[in-house]
Structure 1
Amino acid sequence: MMKQRSTRATLVRLAQFATASAAFALLAACGGGGDDNNSTPAGGVKLQVVSFGDSLSDVGTYAPVAASNFGGGRFTTNPGQVWTQNVAQYYGDTLKPAMTGGFGTAPAVQSGLGYAQGGSRVTNPIGIGHATTDPNNFTGTLTVPVAQQLTNYLASHGSFNAGQLVIVNGGANDILFNLQAVQAGQMTPAAATAAIGQAAIDLAGVIGKVVQNGATHVLVSNVPDIGTTPQGMMSSPTSRALLSQASLGFNQALAAALTQTGLMSKVIYLDIVPPLANITANAAQFGFTVSNTGTACNLQAMAAAAQKFGEPNPQAFATSLFCSPDTLTVAGADQTYMYADTVHPTTHLHALYAQTAEQTIAKSGLGK
């Protein structure tokens, strides 16, 4: 209980540093992007987007707290959008969160179809940033698993339809969670490898259930190579190699499971690893001045501000979720840096991620 009061107090006290950013985020949130027009969108076909996954696709689960106090709200350089929002706009839709809460606020069901949540694993409710081993404790991130996200959607909507594009990603938090357990001596490397592989198989099962329930357009994104993110680059060579190997292992297991179950031919599979490797190798050509060697958000300053106000875990605030224009490393870093924090893309990289997804979808024949 003391941690909850401390965290919420820190959020309130830090608000004075982000008043302008919060206003900026509010203006962005109140802007256009509605799907109430009849014009043909850029994607060539109008689709309603439904999204399941983790922080990479989270469109604002924690925004009521993060945005109101920091100008943050998503795991990127706020108020920028994440890639699933960009894809939704491409097909004439606006993707909003299906649930909000966390950080001491109980979950509240919303009207949006963005079910992805920062910290979520594939099936385990105790994800990255969840405060305790109690799945009903909301002092940290909610981390509703991807499998449960789908269950929640079906409970509310019954099924999918041909006018929808369903986006699914997941697995990165299973990789990080299990490797952290290895580093803490709580799990053997072999057990972690098995758990990560099982998470991939479980994600294939979620995708199968999506298809079984009527979805005809399903975009599946695999896991980026975490070893090539700033987190990997800042780690020892051994840890970096483990992150890359675990990412590759997850993706191989996911592709194998989709192939063995006959699902690969029924989904649009986005292998995001080669495009991101190309962007990293040719960062300047894509408009970046800093590739995977730095963060657009000044994480040290964000943690120091939290510590100044007595937060017992100041590093919890050193994440892009609480990043705003006021906390950027340099002005314009949302466009010139590839990564917002040690693992999450900036606004610019999210836009390139979305473009890659849109190109992959177009190759499938959708919208043409």
Structure 2
Amino acid sequence: MPDDIINPPATRYQIISFGDSLSDVGTYAPMASKFGGGRFTTNPGQVWTQVVANYYGATLNPAFTGGFGVPIKANPDGYGYAQGGSRVADPAGEGNLPNNAGAITLPVAAQVQSFLATHGNFKPNQIILLNGGGNDIKINERAVAENKITPAMAADNVRTAASELAGLAGSIVQAGGRRVVVVNVSDVGKTPLGLTRPDSGVALTQLTVLFNDTLAQVLRAHQPEVTNAIITVDAFSFFNRILASYQAEGFVVSNTAVACNLSPPYNSSLFCSPQVYAVPNADQTYMFADEVHPTTRLHARFAAYVQERLATVTH
């Protein structure tokens, strides 16, 4: 890894994050911390957005906390808008329930709108991290498996979500964003969740590829001034590369088991703590904390990959 990725950069940036559980820095911590959790990983480890923020001399706190019966609270100093369960534009995310009984799942589009309503335009000293689409893919694949929609309808829904995410990137640039990091979706079909599906994740992989291809196509169609401000990060290739050589990357367990021994209804890494690690160092030796979320080590590896990508464009 290049020295400039290991050492802190000379220039400091404020980090703003929009997305889903992969980027969530603690939206549901008021409830999950009672069980030793707080983020969708091997707690108390950090997710990749926090690691990137630390690298650039910033601290990333949740913009909102609450959910699961805890009143929703806005945090003025919070720039981590990503929320576990969120979809790109549909408020009916994973785990969402009426009357704040479940996850908040504010859509990524609404997260961006919330930032602009509170802070106005983006500033030159900010790096904006944007991800989304994983929940759209999972929800549509499950709906097909349950005969609620057709495969063609699922494909249309996923293409729409990808186009919407690309549009959000463009709107962030138009609102002043100069460094907008757009992360595509890693291969959901090759997660532990994918391996448990009746087709061993084939449909999930197909929808992931469709999402990513559409996202890339729409991003390329933007005007040059928008395209020049967007930094794409290929999470799909990154995670498949790590998976293919996981032992060389320092992992002992790939996608065949998870680091957290969790029992229903607390079967998400949101509730994972060292007390339920499969082995004492599972946060460093396993790739996945639960059926879809990375461990602390895998988050750190991805953060370094993002930092390496940013080093080619930030000054």
Name the TM tier (shorter chain): over 0.9
Output the CA distance in 2 between the equivalents of 1:43 and 1:241.
41
Output the CA distance in 2 between the equivalents of 1:196 and 1:239.
20
Output the CA distance in 2 between the equivalents of 1:107 and 1:204.
28
Matches within 5 A, 1:60-71: 60-67=26-33, 69-71=34-36
Which of 264, 270, 277 aligns to 2:240? It is 277
Please name the residue that 2:22 is paired with. 56
Output the CA distance in 1 between the equivalents of 2:279 and 2:191.
19
Output the CA distance in 2 between the equivalents of 1:264 and 1:326.
46
Structure 1 residue 43 displacement after superposition: 2.8
Equivalent position amino acid for 2:303 in 1:
A
Structure 1 residue 108 displacement after superposition: 0.8
Please name the residue that 2:3 is paired with. none
Output the CA distance in 2 between the equivalents of 1:298 and 1:45.
41
Please name the residue that 2:140 is paired with. 178
CA displacement 1:3-43 (0-9 Å, x = unmatched): xxxxxxxxxxxxxxxxxxxxxxxxxxxxxxxxxxxxxx713
CA displacement 1:206-245 (0-9 Å, x = unmatched): 1111001001011110000101111112223x25110111
Equivalent position amino acid for 1:260 in 2:
A
Output the CA distance in 2 between the equivalents of 1:85 and 1:357.
12
Matches within 5 A, 1:74-153: 74-110=39-75, 111-131=77-97, 134=98, 137-153=99-115
In the alignment, is residue 255 of structure 1 matched against residue 212 of structure 2?
Answer: no
Please name the residue that 1:330 is paired with. 279
What secondary structure does 1:249 align onto? helix
Q: Which runs of 5+ in 1 are unaligned?
A: 1-40, 304-313
Output the CA distance in 1 between the equivalents of 2:9 and 2:191.
30
Percent of aligned pairs with the same amino acid: 49
Equivalent position amino acid for 2:151 in 1:
P
Output the CA distance in 2 between the equivalents of 1:266 and 1:88.
19
What secondary structure does 2:168 align onto? helix
Please name the residue that 1:192 is paired with. 154
Structure 1 residue 270 displacement after superposition: 0.2
- Structure number with higher helix proportion: 1
In the alignment, is residue 215 of structure 1 matched against residue 215 of structure 2?
Answer: no
TM-score where L is the length of structure 1 = 0.81
CA displacement 1:111-140 (0-9 Å, x = unmatched): 210000000001111100112xx4xx2111
Task: Say what the alpha-carbon RMSD is for the aligned residues.
Answer: 1.1
Q: Which runs of 5+ in 2 are unaligned?
A: 1-6
TM-score where L is the length of structure 2 = 0.95
C-alpha distance 147-88 of structure 1, shift in aligned 2 (>3 A): same
Assess if the C-alpha contact under 8 Å between 2:183 and 2:235 holds in 1: yes
In the alignment, is residue 72 of structure 1 matched against residue 34 of structure 2?
Answer: no
Please name the residue that 1:342 is paired with. 291
Output the CA distance in 1 between the equivalents of 2:92 and 2:276.
29
Structure 1 residue 261 displacement after superposition: 1.9
Output the CA distance in 2 between the equivalents of 1:100 and 1:196.
28
Equivalent position amino acid for 1:286 in 2:
E
Equivalent position amino acid for 1:289 in 2:
V
Assess if the C-alpha contact under 8 Å between 1:255 and 1:264 holds in 2: no
Please name the residue that 1:240 is paired with. 201
